[in-house]
Every structure is written in structure tokens, then in C-alpha cells.
Amino acid sequence: MNDQVTTLNPSAGYGISQEERHKVLRNTYWLLALSMIPTVLGAWIGVATGITQSLRGGVGLIVFLGGAFAFMYAIEKTKHSAAGVPVLLAFTFFMGLMLSRLIGMVLGFKNGTELVMTAFAGTAGVFFVMASLASVIKRDLSGMGKWLMVGALVLMVGAIINVFVGSTAGMMAISMAAIGIFSAYMLYDLKQILDGGETNYISATLALYLDIFNVFQSLLALLGIMGGERD
């Protein structure tokens, strides 16, 4: 990737060339693939050291939300320069670390490794389907954005409440809703790139990474609740 992140003129809107759109998409896919490395590393360190085991309830929620929003703010501020890439990768390491507690819990089941691989395969399948749909749907999906944002906010409020309530049924409902909402977000974000609505590959990567992270996390939580086998 170039030292300088090229952002096409936003005023050009959806009038940018097909070649420029493909360039954004190609760079996004490369950076998205690269972002999985620090995510896996963060998750591995978290599982191996148990460093996130103490982050329960309100404390865990504050650390997660505080860290995530701080990183996203930093990414937004640096996305027009080469500094945006290492900041994004640091964010994905942090997210992997935060995910490690759930992964560690699932690996505690007799079939834990199988559940993690199933969640990974399921997430990859969702991404493939949404990428395929985004490439064939001709309709402008930009209007979906506000509805998906409302759905995501309602989901976040529900998830925060459930942290304190600790309801298994609530967790299942939230996980199923999250899979639906962030799968739709995946389609929306991919279509934005293909239509020229998103012209910065760091922003595009961040959006798709969050979609993938949330689908994987929700699938894994659902599989752990419904399919976890204890010794």
C-alpha cells in the first residue's frame, strides 16, 4: 500500500470510475485479511494468559466500550494518512484480546475447538454470500444505513442491559439479532464500496471488520449456549 492513503474526492459521490472503485475494494480486502493476524494474535495471548478473565460485568463493559471507541476515534482521525493502517491493526489486536474471554469459555467445552471452527466457517460463509449479493444487486442500498444504525443501537442497549441481567435467553436473542443485523450491514458496506459511496479503504476495512467480528462473536456465543458439550 502507498505511504499516503488516497481518498477520492467525496464531492464526486457515486460518479467515481469503476477502476477507482475496484482499487478501493482491492485495498480493503488486503487490509481486512491483514487485520485478521493481530486479531488471532490478540485472541491467542488472551486465552493463553487469561488476562481478560477479570473483565466481567460493568468493568469489562467499560474497558471494551472505552477502548473500542477510543480506537475508532483515532482511526477516523488518521484514516487519510499511512498512520491509519497501524492504528487499525492495533485496534484489531485489542478486539482479539477482548474476544479471548468468550473463546476461552467455548474452548472449555469438550467440543470447543469444533465450535470455534464452525463459527469461523459460518462467518466466512455469510461474508461470501453477502459479497456475492453485493456484486449482483443493482439497486441502491444506501437507504438501509439509517435503519441498520437504529437496529445496531437498540441491539447495543439490549446487550448492555443483559450484561447486568445475565439472562441466557436474552443472550441468545441478542446473538440471533446481531447475526441478522451485521450480516445486513456486511451487504450494505460492501455495496457502498462497489457503488462508490465509500472511497477510503481504511474506513471501509473498519466497517467490514466490525461486521465480521460481530457475526463471528454472536455465532460463537450461540453455538456455545446451544451446542457446548461438557465433560
> Would you state the pLDDT for residue 15?
61
Higher pLDDT, 209 or 4: 209
Higher pLDDT, 171 or 38: 38
pLDDT over 70, % of the chain: 92
Torsion of CA 30, 36, 38, 41, to 10 degrees: -150
Is-contact 224 106, C-beta < 8 A? yes
3-state helix, strand, coil in the chain (%, to 5): 80, 0, 20
What mean pLDDT is reported for the chain? 87
> Would you state the pLDDT for residue 10?
39
Look at residue 206 and tell me whether its pLDDT is greater than 60: yes
Q: What is the Cα–Cα distance from 67 to 50, expressed in whole angstroms?
A: 18
pTM, entire model: 0.88
Mind listing the pLDDT tens digit for each residue in 213-224? 999 999 999 999
Q: What is the Cα–Cα distance from 105 to 221, expressed in whole angstroms?
A: 10
Higher pLDDT, 126 or 145: 126
Look at residue 229 and tell me whether its pLDDT is greater than 80: no
> Would you state the pLDDT for residue 14?
56
Mind listing the pLDDT tens digit for each residue in 6-20? 444 333 445 677 888
Q: 24 to each of 83, 116, 162, 198, how far by Cα in Å? A: 18, 31, 38, 8
